[in-house]
C-alpha cells in the first residue's frame, strides 16, 4: 500500500493549487481535521479555527463567478442551511451545505487526497498516543448473548468512531486508487479491517469494510451487471424502507425483537424518535434527548426535516442513475457502502463523514476537470 501511495500520487500542495480555490481547501481541511481528530464544537481552540475556516469559505464564495442557475441553487441552499440550523441548533447540517456551495471549480480527486492524508495522520496519531498512555484509551464493556465484550476506542470518543475512521480511510483508498489496487493491497486492507475489529468489536464497521472490498472486486468484473445497477439505484430507497418500516411496525413484525437485540436496540431507539417528534419541514432540535439515535435515515427525517430529506433523496437518485449510466463504479461504491452504513449510524447528513455527498457538487456545477474520461452533463 505504501508503494502504491508513492507511485500513484503525492500529498497535494496548497501552493500548487489554483489560487482561486486555496481558500476552499483551507476551509475543508480545518473542518476535516475537526472530524478526523474527533474534536467537538465545544473545544474552544477548534471553534476558533472553525471560525477562520468559515471566513475562508466566505472569501471563496465571494470570489467565485456563478451563472444564474448556479447562483439560484447556492442561495437556496444557504437559506435552507440557515433554516435547518435555526430548527435543529446543529452546525453539522449548515457546514455540509456550505461545503457543497463552495465546490465550484474544486478538483474532487485532490479534495479526497487531502482527506485521505488527514485521516491517515489522525488515525495513527491517536492510536499512538493511546499506546504510550498520553491520552485515555476509553474502554467499554458490552454484553452480547452470553459473552462479555471489552471494546477500546483507541483515542476516539467511542470504539465505533475508531472503526468508522478506518472505514473512511479504506473507502478513500478504494476511490483514489481504484484502478491500481491489486491482490496484495486488497489483502492488506482486509487484514487491517480485522485488526481494527479486534479492538472495536464493531460488527457493522467490519461488515462495511469487507463489503467495500467485495464490491471493489465485483465492480471490476463483468458479472451480474444488471444486478449491480439495480443495487446502486435502489440503495437509498432500501435504506429508508429498512430503517423506517421496522420502527413504525415494531409490534407487528414477528421476531423483530430478536433482530433488535442483535442491533443493540437501534430499532427501539428509532421507534422512540419517530413516535416522540413531529415531522417538520426543517427538522427538530434533539439536543435535550439522551437516547442515542443510531440511524442516518431517521436522523434525516426527524432531525433535518422533510425538505432536506426530499432534496437528499432526489439528488442521490439522480446521481446514482447518472453514475450507473456512465459506469462510474468508484463513485457508486462509495454511495452504496456509506448508504448501507447509514442504516446503523447517524452520520449520513454529515459531508465530512459521508464523503459521497461531495458528488452533489457535480450535479450543481458540472464543470470539474474530467476524471477518467467522463463528466456529468446538465
Would the pTM count as exceeding 0.75?
yes
Dihedral pair phi/psi, residue 139, rounded to 5°:
-115, 130
First to last CA, the chain: 37
The span from the CA of 365 to the CA of 101, in Å, is 9
- Average pLDDT, consecutive stretches of 10 residues, N- to C-terminus, the chain (378 residues): 49 58 88 84 75 89 88 92 90 89 88 93 94 90 81 92 96 95 93 96 95 95 91 94 93 89 90 94 89 92 94 94 93 96 92 93 69 45
Report which secondary-structure segment, H or E, holds 139.
strand 139-144
Report the pLDDT value the prediction gives residue 118, as an integer from 0 to 100.
Answer: 94
Can you give the pLDDT at residue 36? 87
pLDDT for 71-91, tens place per residue?
Answer: 999 999 999 999 999 998 888
Cα–Cα dist 159/165, whole Å: 10
Q: How far apart are CA 164 and CA 168, in angstroms?
A: 6
- DSSP-H helix ranges across the chain: 2-8, 22-36, 44-63, 68-88, 91-101, 108-131, 159-176, 183-200, 203-219, 225-248, 256-262, 266-276, 296-298, 305-325, 329-341, 360-365
120, 171 in Cβ contact below 8 A? no
Going by C-alpha positions, the residue among 370, 365, 240 that lies closest to residue 313 is: 240
CA distance 84 to 307: 10
Q: Tell me: the pLDDT tens digits for 140-172? A: 988 776 778 899 999 998 999 999 999 999 999
Phi and psi, residue 301, nearest 5°: -70, -50
Q: Tell me, what's the pLDDT at 262?
A: 84
Amino acid at each position: 500500500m505504501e508503494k502504491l501511495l508513492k507511485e500513484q500520487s503525492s500529498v497535494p500542495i496548497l501552493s500548487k493549487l489554483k489560487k482561486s480555490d486555496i481558500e476552499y481547501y483551507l476551509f475543508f481541511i480545518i473542518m476535516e481535521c475537526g472530524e478526523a481528530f474527533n474534536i467537538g464544537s465545544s473545544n474552544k481552540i477548534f471553534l476558533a479555527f472553525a471560525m477562520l475556516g468559515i471566513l475562508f469559505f466566505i472569501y471563496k464564495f465571494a470570489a467565485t463567478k456563478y451563472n444564474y442557475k448556479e447562483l439560484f441553487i447556492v442561495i437556496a441552499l444557504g437559506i435552507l442551511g440557515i433554516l435547518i440550523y435555526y430548527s435543529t441548533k446543529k452546525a453539522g447540517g449548515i457546514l455540509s451545505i456550505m461545503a457543497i456551495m463552495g465546490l465550484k471549480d474544486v478538483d474532487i480527486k485532490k479534495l479526497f487526497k487531502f482527506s485521505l492524508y488527514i485521516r491517515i495522520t489522525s488515525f495513527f496519531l491517536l492510536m499512538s498516543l493511546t499506546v504510550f498512555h498520553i491520552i485515555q484509551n476509553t474502554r467499554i464493556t458490552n454484553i452480547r448473548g452470553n459473552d462479555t465484550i471489552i471494546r477500546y476506542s483507541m483515542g476516539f470518543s467511542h470504539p465505533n468512531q475508531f472503526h468508522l475512521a478506518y472505514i473512511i480511510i479504506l473507502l478513500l483508498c478504494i476511490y483514489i486508487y481504484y484502478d491500481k489496487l491489486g491482490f496484495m493491497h486488497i489483502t492488506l486492507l482486509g487484514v487491517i479491517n480485522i485488526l481494527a475489529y479486534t479492538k472495536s468489536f464493531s460488527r457493522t464497521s467490519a461488515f462495511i469494510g469487507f463489503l467495500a472490498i467485495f464490491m471493489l472486486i465485483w465492480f471490476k468484473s463483468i458479472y451480474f451487471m444488471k444486478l449491480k445497477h439495480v443495487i446502486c439505484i435502489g440503495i437509498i430507497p432500501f435504506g429508508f424502507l429498512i430503517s423506517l418500516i421496522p420502527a413504525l411496525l415494531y409490534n407487528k413484525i414477528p421476531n423483530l425483537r430478536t433482530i433488535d437485540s442483535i442491533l443493540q436496540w437501534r430499532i427501539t431507539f428509532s421507534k422512540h424518535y419517530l413516535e416522540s417528534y413531529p415531522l417538520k419541514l426543517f427538522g427538530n432540535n434533539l439536543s435535550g434527548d439522551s437516547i442515542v439515535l443510531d440511524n442516518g435515515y431517521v436522523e434525516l427525517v426527524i432531525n433535518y426535516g422533510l425538505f432536506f430529506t426530499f432534496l437528499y433523496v432526489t439528488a442521490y437518485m439522480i446521481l446514482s442513475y447518472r453514475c450507473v449510466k456512465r459506469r462510474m463504479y468508484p463513485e457508486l461504491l462509495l454511495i452504496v457502502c456509506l448508504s448501507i452504513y447509514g442504516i446503523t449510524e447517524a452520520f449520513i447528513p454529515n459531508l465530512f463523514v459521508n464523503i459521497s455527498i461531495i458528488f452533489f457538487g457535480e450535479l450543481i456545477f458540472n464543470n470539474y476537470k474530467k476524471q477518467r474520461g467522463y463528466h456529468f452533463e446538465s
